[in-house]
A and B are shown apart, each in its own frame.
Chain A
Amino acid sequence: MASAIRCEDLSKSFGALRAVEGVSFSVEPGEIVGFLGPNGAGKTTTIRMLLDLIRPSRGSVEVLGANPRRGGAALRRRIGYVPGDLALYNRLTGRQLLEFVSALRGNHDLTAAELIAEQLGVSLERPIGMLSRGNRQKIGVVQALAHAPELLVLDEPTSGLDPVAQRTFRSLVRDAAARGTAVLLSSHVLGEVQRVVDRVAILRAGRLVTIEPMRDLEAKALRVVEIRFGGPVAAEQFAHLAGVRSIEVEGDLLRASVAGSADALIKAASRFTVDSIAGHEADLEDVFLTFYGEPAHAPA
């Protein structure tokens, strides 16, 4: 089966500004790829080339086996898209907007759209301009998902969504991927996408820094492990353990930062009486920031 997205040496310049430079990656059917980078890294520029809103300066891009420009309207019928700077027709109600885009797709059945809107908890009866930013964003998500596209391109789709809606959104995206939809999900915050993506592509200053499985990225992440012992312990007793980056001890409580496997730490701890162990979710922001580099590199 052909890749849902395949970019080779994709580049885009605006005058002297090289917005995207030599980006190559692919997204397979059924796969969810996180597209990460700080604001201005070139995520939106890359995405807009997938939708034929702008044309590459160099390199090639294939979406569902077709060139976006030649594929035209027929190709876009198979894509669901939430733009980064989502602007909808504010004077229409959500229902009117969905009727409009369904008609452009040659489909007048709003059942699927209504169901998704209900799951996300957004009214379709009010003018879009009167909705909160989060609710407008939900309308954007509904119109992208409603026609069960083969490819979902979501540019910062969760910005402005409350945590409950974010969770619903993640499960909708997971369901779509389970049905074979390829998903490209951009964000500038890893935490927003880490629980749903299979692979992560990281962009910085227009270049692809890395694309790797989420699992590999997590293995590099620091994890905080807290162990409460039956009595006081000393930090020296846990020094120089494999994978342990730092140790803090307060009486009977030990707090360790661990990268990758926690095996050495647990084996060392087993020499003492352990009352409880608490492991915190991997903090990927540190890993992420090493890819981003110094803040001075961040383009305006």
Chain B
Amino acid sequence: MLLRSVFVKTIHDRRHGLLWWSVGVGLLTIATLSVWPSVRDEYQKLIENYPEALLALFGIERGGLGSAAGYVQVELFSLMIPLLLIGYMIAAGSAATAGEQEAGTLEFLLAQPVSRRRVLLEKYVGLCTALAVISVAFVAVLIISTRVFALDIGIPNLLAATASAYMLGLLFGAVTLLAGCITGHRALAAGIASAAAVAGYLLSTLATLVEGLKRFRPLSPFWWYSGHDPLRSGLEPLHVGLLLLATAICITAAVVAFDRRDLA
């Protein structure tokens, strides 16, 4: 691969990891869905016996859980897939600037005739592309598996839920870059972004349990991601808009922080 830009180099640096992440997410999906034919009858009863708190923790509400969509929501989209996509973006995002700064190569890169803004944006677009590869691999395996294991979920719904998870990943990638541009430390950037993700997740889940928290639910990115139930109802402009707007704000702030700061 000819490294003709920071964007291409970002993809080049991630190519092996991309393959393994895609394979891993694909295998997890196959493993999860392959048990559906044997558990479909038991599943309804199992879920009904779960305590309310546990259901909330998995981001699901009672009713219709025995359906294939409920199963996929609980087993994949409530936690596992957003966790993996966010995890990938936090790992890759913290390496992008803070990691390069710790390795010392950022000094070399920024001394080249390329602006800091461009370096940051090309790296981010590179990460978004990498995440898209993983997401596409995931949704392809998901669509095929639902057909093979007889889960009756429409393809537009699977695409909508995956797209929503992808955008949640984009947001936390932007949060990680912002933290990395401000701190310059890889572990710290990853820690801040992880803490933000856990806080958002807990807020979204606890708000379904605790009445007093309910009005704060719209503040959580996880609510933006799944509050409109994209697996059953498709994407909703307000939620998509909030995810993209928050991402744009974080990236803009990251560019400003990166541009202003001493590379020391």
Contact = CB atoms under 8 A, between A and B. Distances in A.
Given A96-B3, A100-B3, A88 B108 contact: yes
A79 B264 CA distance: 21
A195 to B, nearest CB: 27
Interface string B49-69: 000000000000000000000
A104 B111 contact: no
B42 interface: no
Interface stretch (A27-35, A46-54, A235-243): A46-54
A100 B113 CA distance: 12
B196 to A, nearest CB: 28
A48 B2 contact: no
Contact of B112 (A48, A55, A74, A104): A104
Contacts of B249: none
B67 to A, nearest CB: 47
A79 B113 CA distance: 9
B207 to A, nearest CB: 42
A99 B111 contact: no
A51 B109 CA distance: 11
A89 B111 CA distance: 14
- Label chain B's interface by main secondary structure: loop
A90 B114 CA distance: 21
B5 A103 contact: yes
Given A48-B263, A87-B104, A105 B115 contact: no
Interface residues of B, number: 22
A101 B114 CA distance: 10
B103 interface: yes
Interface string B22-60: 000000000000000000000000000000000000000
B105 interface: yes
A112 interface: no
Contacts of B5: 103-104
Contacts of A75: 113
B3 A76 contact: no
Interface residues of A, number: 31
Contacts of B9: 100
A76 B115 CA distance: 9
B264 A103 contact: no
B113 A103 contact: no
Given A51-B111, A76-B112, A103 B4 contact: yes
Nearest to A98: B3
Contact of A76 (B13, B113, B262): B113
B111 A53 contact: yes
Contacts of A100: 3-4, 9
Nearest to B3: A100
Contacts of A54: 262-264
B110 interface: yes
Given A53-B110, A99-B2, A103-B4, A72 B263 contact: no
Interface in A32-87: 48, 51-55, 72-77, 79, 81, 83, 85-87
Contacts of A249: none
B1 to A, nearest CB: 9
A100 B3 CA distance: 5
A105 B115 CA distance: 12
Contact of A83 (B2, B103, B108, B262): B108
B112 A53 contact: no
B101 to A, nearest CB: 10
15 contacts: A54-B263, A55-B262, A73-B118, A83-B107, A86-B104, A87-B108, A91-B13, A96-B3, A100-B3, A100-B4, A100-B9, A103-B3, A103-B5, A104-B6, A104-B113
